[in-house]
Structure 1
Amino acid sequence: MPESLMMAFSWLDWLALGWFFACWAWYYEYSRRRQRSKRCLAGVMHGYRYDWMRRLLGREARIADATIMTHLERNGAFFASSTLLILAALFGLMGTTERALLVLADLPFAASSPSRLGLELKLLLLIGLFIYAFFTFTWSMRQYNFCAILIGSAPAADEKDSTPGLRKMFAIQAANVIDLAANQFNYGLRAYYFGLALLAWFLHPLAFILATAGVVGVLFRREFHSKTLKALAAGRDLDITFRGILQHEETTSESLKSQNK
C-alpha cells in the first residue's frame, strides 16, 4: 500500500473503516442465512408472495396483480434516479475539496486537521457505495419486469392442460423470482443506511464506529424484532390455522357423508 495512502488516515480511521466493512459483511451473511426463517421479514413475506401467486392462478382477471408489480417496479426506479442525483452531487463535490476542508475544519466535533487526500478517499468510498446501490436498484427493476412477464404467462384458471403440480411449481418459482427482486431492492436500501453511517466519518472516526453500530442495530431490529414483523407473522399463522380448520372440517364432513351412505 502506498505510504501516502497510509498517511491519509490515522490508525483510528483504519479501525473504523475495517469495522464498517466487517459489520456490513456480517449483517449481509446473517440476514441471508435467516432469510427463510419464519421470524424475519424476508421469510414471512416469502409466504405471502407464495399465497399471492397461488391465488393469482385462480383468477381470470389479473389487472390488479399487474398493477401491484408496476408499483413495486416504480419504487426501484425512484431510488435509482435519486441515486444518480446523489452521485452527481458527490462528483461535483470532488472538485471543491478545498472549500469542503474549510467547512469541516469549522465543525465543533470534527477530527483535527483533515487532509485533502483523506477527504477525497472518503468521497470516493461514498461514490462507490452509491454506484453499488444504483446497480442493485436497476437489477431489482429488471427482475420485477421478469415478474410481470411471469404473471402474463401464468396458466389460466380454466386451462385444462395445467395440472395441480404444474400450478404449484409455477407459484413456487414465481414467488422465488419476486423474492430475488425484493432482496435486490433491500440491498440498495441497506446501502443507503450504511451511506448515512459513512457520513459520520467526515466528523470523527469514533462517530463513524458508533453510527455503523447504530445502523446495524436499526436494521436488525426492523428485520427480526419489529412490531411489523410480529403483525405479519401473526396474520400468516392465523391464515394457516384457519385453513387447517377448514380442511379438517371438510374431511370430517366427507367422512360423515360416506358413513351415512
Structure 2
Amino acid sequence: MTLADRIALFSTLDYVALALLFVCWLGIGWRIEHPGKKHLSTSVLMADYRRAWMNEMVTREPRIFDAQVLASLREGTAFFASTSVIAIGGTLALIGNAEKLGGVASEITLMDHPAIVWELKLMVVTLLLTNAFLKFVWSNRLFGYCSVLIASVPNDPGDPEAYPRARQAAEINVTLARSFNRGLRSIYFALACAAWLAGPVAFIAATLTTLVVIWRREFASHSRKILLNA
C-alpha cells in the first residue's frame, strides 16, 4: 500500500480532528505558561509560591520539612512515568492486535476499515504517551537537581551565597513543575485521541471537552480563587 493509498483511508474530517488535537494541545499549553497579567493561570500562580517556598527554606532549621515535601512531590513524577510506560505497552499491544480491535471498533462506528487505520490512530496515542513519559522522567531528574541545590544553600542566611542559590533552586523547582504539567496535558489529550477509534466526530468532541476541562482548572477553578485571595 502506497502513502497516497494510506492517506486516502482517512476522511477530511479525520485530518481536521487530528489538526484540532495538536492545536488545542499546544495552544492551551502555551496559554497556561504565558497567560495575560490580569488573568494568571493556576500553574503560574503556583510558580510564585514555589519561589516563596525556596526563599523561606533559607531560614528554616532544620530543613527536613523541605526535603520531605520535595520527596513526596517527586513520587508523583515516578508514578506517572511508570503509568505512562504501562500505557505505552498496552497501546503497542493493541497495535499488534489491530484486526481484533478493528472488529470491536467497527461494531461501534458501523464502519469497516483496514487494520492499518486502527494502527495509525493508535500510533498517535502512543506518540502522546511517549511525550508524557519523557516529560515525567525529565521532571523526576530535575527533582534531583533541586535537592542538590537545596543541600548547597548555606545554613547562615547572612551568607552572600544563601539567597542566590535559593533562587536557583526555586527556578529549577518551577521548571520541573512545568515539565510535570506538560506530561499531564499529554496524557489528557492521549485519552482524547483514543476517542478517534469511535470516529472523527467523537474525536473532536473528546478534544474540545479535554480543552474545556484543562482551561477551567487553570483559569476558572475554585483552587485558583483561593490562590488569588491569599
TM-score range, shorter chain: over 0.9
Any conservation in 1 of the 2:155–2:162 contact (CA below 8 Å)?
no
After TM superposition, give the deviation of residue 192 of structure 1 in Å. 0.9
Per the alignment, residue 234 of structure 1 pairs with: 229
Per the alignment, residue 134 of structure 2 pairs with: 135
Amino acid at match of 1:145: G
Taking structure 1 as the reference length, what is the TM-score of the superposition? Answer: 0.83
Amino acid at match of 1:184: S
Q: Which has the larger radius of gyration?
A: 1
Per the alignment, residue 114 of structure 1 pairs with: 113
- Asked whether 1:222 is paired with 2:222, we answer no
Any conservation in 2 of the 1:16–1:208 contact (CA below 8 Å)?
yes
Equivalent runs, 1:183-198 vs 2, <5 Å = 183-198=178-193
2:123, 2:136 → 1: CA distance? 20
Compared CA separation, residues 37 and 77, structure 1 to 2 (3 A): farther
Any conservation in 2 of the 1:38–1:44 contact (CA below 8 Å)?
no
Amino acid at match of 1:210: A
2:183, 2:110 → 1: CA distance? 29
Q: How many residues align?
A: 229
After TM superposition, give the deviation of residue 113 of structure 1 in Å. 1.7
Taking structure 2 as the reference length, what is the TM-score of the superposition? Answer: 0.93
Q: Secondary structure at the match of 1:45?
A: helix
After TM superposition, give the deviation of residue 32 of structure 1 in Å. 2.2
Any conservation in 1 of the 2:58–2:163 contact (CA below 8 Å)?
no
Q: Secondary structure at the match of 2:145?
A: helix
Amino acid at match of 2:151: G
> Which residues of structure 1 form unaligned runs of 5+?
236-261
- Could you tell which deviates more after superposition, 56-65 or 22-31? 22-31
2:200, 2:39 → 1: CA distance? 37
Q: Secondary structure at the match of 1:155?
A: coil
Q: Secondary structure at the match of 1:39?
A: coil
After TM superposition, give the deviation of residue 36 of structure 1 in Å. 7.2
- Could you tell which deviates more after superposition, 50-59 or 137-146? 50-59
Any conservation in 1 of the 2:128–2:190 contact (CA below 8 Å)?
yes
After TM superposition, which residue ranges in structure 1, 4 or more long, deviate above 3 angstroms? Answer: 35-38
1:171, 1:79 → 2: CA distance? 27
What's the C-alpha RMSD, in Å, of the aligned pairs? Answer: 1.8
Compared CA separation, residues 74 and 4, structure 1 to 2 (3 A): same
After TM superposition, give the deviation of residue 173 of structure 1 in Å. 2.4
Amino acid at match of 1:204: G
Q: Deviations over 1:152-196 (max 9, x none)?
A: 1111136x5x13xx4443333221110100011101110111011
Compared CA separation, residues 17 and 38, structure 1 to 2 (3 A): closer
Equivalent runs, 1:56-135 vs 2, <5 Å = 56-107=57-108, 110=109, 112-135=111-134
Equivalent runs, 1:8-23 vs 2, <5 Å = 8-23=9-24
Compared CA separation, residues 38 and 60, structure 1 to 2 (3 A): farther
Per the alignment, residue 151 of structure 2 pairs with: 152
2:169, 2:10 → 1: CA distance? 48
Q: Identity percentage over the alignment?
A: 33
2:60, 2:39 → 1: CA distance? 28
Compared CA separation, residues 34 and 15, structure 1 to 2 (3 A): same
Per the alignment, residue 257 of structure 1 pairs with: none
Compared CA separation, residues 45 and 203, structure 1 to 2 (3 A): same
After TM superposition, give the deviation of residue 43 of structure 1 in Å. 2.1
> Which residues of structure 2 form unaligned runs of 5+?
none
Any conservation in 2 of the 1:90–1:127 contact (CA below 8 Å)?
yes
Compared CA separation, residues 38 and 151, structure 1 to 2 (3 A): farther
After TM superposition, give the deviation of residue 220 of structure 1 in Å. 0.8
Q: Deviations over 1:186-235 (max 9, x none)?
A: 01110111011101110010111111111111111110111000001211
1:136, 1:8 → 2: CA distance? 32
1:211 to 197, 200, 206: 206
Compared CA separation, residues 52 and 128, structure 1 to 2 (3 A): same
